[in-house]
Amino acid sequence: MKIGPINIPLKEDFSLKSILGFEKTPMNMLVAVLTLAFLAMFVVGVATYLMHGHHAYNVTREHPWGLLIAVYIFFVVSSTGFCIVGSLGDVFGFKDYMMISKRAIFGSIVTILAGFAVIAFEIGHPVTMLIYNVLSPGLTSAIWWMGTLYGIYLTFMIVEFYFLLNNNMQKARIFGLIGLLVGLAAHSNLGGVFGFLNARTISNGVFYPTYFILTAFITGIYLSFIIMGFRYKMNFDEKTKALLVGLAKIQTLLIAILMFFETWKMLTAVYGGMPNRAEVAEHIMHSGAFMYGEVLMGMLIPFTVMLLTKWRSVTTYVWTSVIGMVGIFFMRYDLVHDTQLKPLQMMKTHEYQLPPSWVEYFPSATEIMISLGGLGLCVLLYYVGTRAFNLDEEH
């Protein structure tokens, strides 16, 4: 397809028919039905939000950030992860990883779009944001930097993808490198959004900005396994297997580093019983979302499986990656929730209330619907992409 000087090489058979012409296996049908269901939920969720505003969410004065922020972070971390994995080949020139570059870069675009779609219904006034982001930029605000940089990042990713499609590796490399740097900057700023919260001792500091980069890489690899499994229907050729074995080894190392980080974060948080930090850390460690979600699913299961199978059982890793992604989701959810666990005002403001203790939060149906809708949107866009573009390496 040509638009002026821009040439977008679409697949020759790209049409509605080709989109609908997937093989009707039970698995594919399940994914299709789920995706449609999620998209329907998105519509219902957004409609509810438009009617009732934030009252449709379970966010409160003490817990202003809820599931949608977590899901947004989940998507943008995924995007950054895709970007890092995609860069291995086309930016850094690792030949083995070249075959996944185009697919990963496309994934990074799709995931960040899904993220934006979700956050648009969390930010109360997204249009105002676009205007005043430019007219009165808050340069001391991590959210301003994060948002602005992600905007730029998305542009670079699209341009990079364009050059990749046109097999212009030179230009793709330049835009890829800048995109990666902007993406990493944006992403660490997202960590900074939490790291700058001086009043929230559990989140305050250097941990989240660096942890975000690390977990982005981990997320990127989990997602790579999933999309490659999807692409090759679990029948990998030798070249792909080599790629995945490599990724699995890197992943093991990264998870080891993450576990090391997390251990020290918790140890330093608990040590000495510092108010507002130690008891929060202890509370976190007693929560199922942390122990089963983050630690078990996000780290231990994938790590142990890869270690025990000595990085050879790549089809298994597709499944452990799905588990890993559930763990990653909990990491995002916990990050948001745990930051707000401890009320900043600990006195009773009414006679007939219990003294403030841990802030409770559970997402509302609307929040869940919009979040799943984001996932549906992501899958749909990605699938349409696989039909429209050749995401495999060109020979």
Partner 1 sequence: MARYGMALDYKNCINCKACEVACKEENGVELGAEKHRIWVGANNPDGQWPLLDIASAAFLPSQCQHCDDAPCQEVCPTHATYYDENNVVRVDADKCILCSYCMNACPYDARYVDDRTMTVDKCTFCSDTRLARGETTTACQNTCPTKVRTFGDLDDPESEISELLRTREHFSLKSHLGTNPKLFYLT
Partner 2 sequence: MSVEVSRRKFLQGSVALSVAGASAISATNLFSSEHASNKHQPTDSRIPSTITTKTGTGEAVEVATLCEMCVNKCAALARVENGVITKLNPNPMFPKSKNMLCPRGNAGIQAAYDPDRLKYPMIRTGEKGKGQFKRVTWDEAYDAILNGTDKFPGLAKILEEEKDNRSSMLFCAGEGMAEHTFKQFYQAFGSSNWLNHASLCLQTVVSGYGVTLGGYPQSDLDNAEYIIMAGANRAEAIVTPDTMDCFKRTKGRGAKLVCVDPRFTNTAAKADKWLAIKPGTDLAFVLALTYVVFTEELYNKKYVANYFNGLEDYKNSVITNKYTPEWAEKITGIKAKDIYTIAREFMMHAPKAIYYPGRRSTFATNDFQLRRAQAIFQALGGGIDTKGGLIFGKKLKLGKHEGLEPLYARAEARAVSKKDHPKKGESGYDDCAIVSGGGSWIAWRNRYLEDRMPYKVRGMFCYKHNPMMNMPNTKKTAQMLKKMDLVVTIDTMPSDTVMYADVVLPECTYLERTDPVKTFGGVEPSIAVRNKVIDPLFETKPVRDILRGLTEKISKPLFEITKKYDEDVQDELEDSDEAEVYAEFDLTLPFEGTQEEVNHHMVASVYGEEAAHKLHKDGVFYPDMDKFYKKIGANEHQYYPEKEKAYSVRGGKPKTPSGKVECNIANLASKGVDPMPVWKDEYNFKVEEGKFRLLTGRHAQFTQSGTSNNSMLHDLIMTNFIWINQRVADKKGIKFGDMIEVSSKTGSTRLKAYPTEKIGPDTLFFIHGFGEESSELTWAYKNGGNDNAVIEDVVEPVYGAAAMHETNVEIRKV
Contact residues for partner 2, defined by CB under 8 A: 55, 350-352, 354
Query: Using CB distances below 5 to 8 A depending on partner kind, what does residue 286 bind out of partner 2, partner 1, none?
Result: none
Tokens of 149: 């940089």
CB of 65 to partner 2, least distance (A): 17
Contact 315, 236 (CB under 8 A): yes
Asked if residue 151 binds partner 1 (CB under 8 A), the reply is no
Question: To the nearest whole angstrom, how small is the minimum distance from the Cβ of residue 63 to partner 2?
Answer: 13
Chain centroid, CA 148 distance in Å: 18
Integer-rounded Cα Rg, in Å, for the chain is 21
286 interacts with partner 1 by CB under 8 A: no
**Which residues, 6+ apart, have CB-to-CB distance to 302 below 8 Å?**
222, 251, 255, 317, 320, 321, 323, 324, 327
Q: Minimum CB separation from partner 2 for residue 208, in Å?
A: 31
Please report how close the Cβ of residue 311 comes to partner 1 at its closest, in angstroms.
Answer: 41
HSE, side-chain direction, 13 A CA sphere, residue 225: 29
Q: Which does 167 bind (CB under 5 to 8 A by kind): partner 1, partner 2, none?
A: none
Comparing CA positions, the residue from 187, 161, 166, 188 lying closest to residue 176 is: 161
Whose Cβ is closer to partner 1: residue 173's or residue 337's?
337
Minimum distance between the CB of residue 257 and partner 2, rounded to whole angstroms?
43
Q: Which is nearer to partner 2, 183 or 363 (CB)?
A: 363
DSSP string, 275-317: TTTHHHHHHHHTSHIIIIIIIIIIIIHHHHHHHHTTT--HHHH
**Cα distances (Å, whole numbers) of residue 296 to 11, 128, 300, 320, 326:** 41, 41, 5, 11, 10
Name which position in 121, 156, 196, 208 contacts partner 1 (CB under 8 A).
Answer: 196
Among 3, 26, 170, 198, binds partner 1 (CB under 8 A): 198
140 touches, from partner 1, partner 2, none (C-beta below 5 to 8 Å by class): partner 1
Number of residues located near partner 1, criterion CB under 8 A = 45
CA angle 246, 250, 252 (to 5 degrees): 115
Query: Which lies closer to partner 1 via its Cβ, residue 1 or residue 199?
Result: 199
- Which of 2, 4, 140, 272 forms a contact with partner 1 (CB under 8 A)? 140
Query: Ramachandran region of residue 53, left (φ > 0), alpha (ψ -120 to 50) or beta?
Result: left
- Our CB check for partner 1 shows the closer of 141 and 315 to be 141
Cross-strand pairs, 6: 3
On whether the CB atoms of residues 276 and 342 are closer than 8 A, the answer is: yes
Question: How far apart, in whole angstroms, are the C-alpha atoms of residue 331 and residue 268?
Answer: 19
Residue placing its CB nearer to partner 2 in the complex, 63 or 171: 63
Supply 81's token pair.
């992860």
Residues 8, 25, 27, 53: which binds partner 1 (CB under 8 A)? 53
Question: Which of the listed partners (partner 2, partner 1, none) does 352 bind, with a CB threshold of 5 to 8 Å by partner kind?
Answer: partner 2
Q: Which two tokens stand for residue 74?
A: 């989940």
Per rule CB under 8 A, is residue 170 in the interface with partner 1? no
Which CB, 26 or 352, lies closer to partner 1?
352
CB 377 within 8 A of CB 43: no
Q: Which of 55, 239, 249, 310 touches partner 1 by CB under 8 A?
A: 55
Residue 136 is a binding residue for partner 1 (CB under 8 A): yes
Q: Which does 337 bind (CB under 5 to 8 A by kind): partner 2, partner 1, none?
A: none
Query: How far is CA 82 from its chain centroid?
Result: 9
Contact positions vs partner 1 (CB under 8 A): 53-55, 59-62, 64-65, 123-126, 128-129, 132-133, 135-138, 140-144, 147, 193, 196-200, 339-340, 343-351, 355
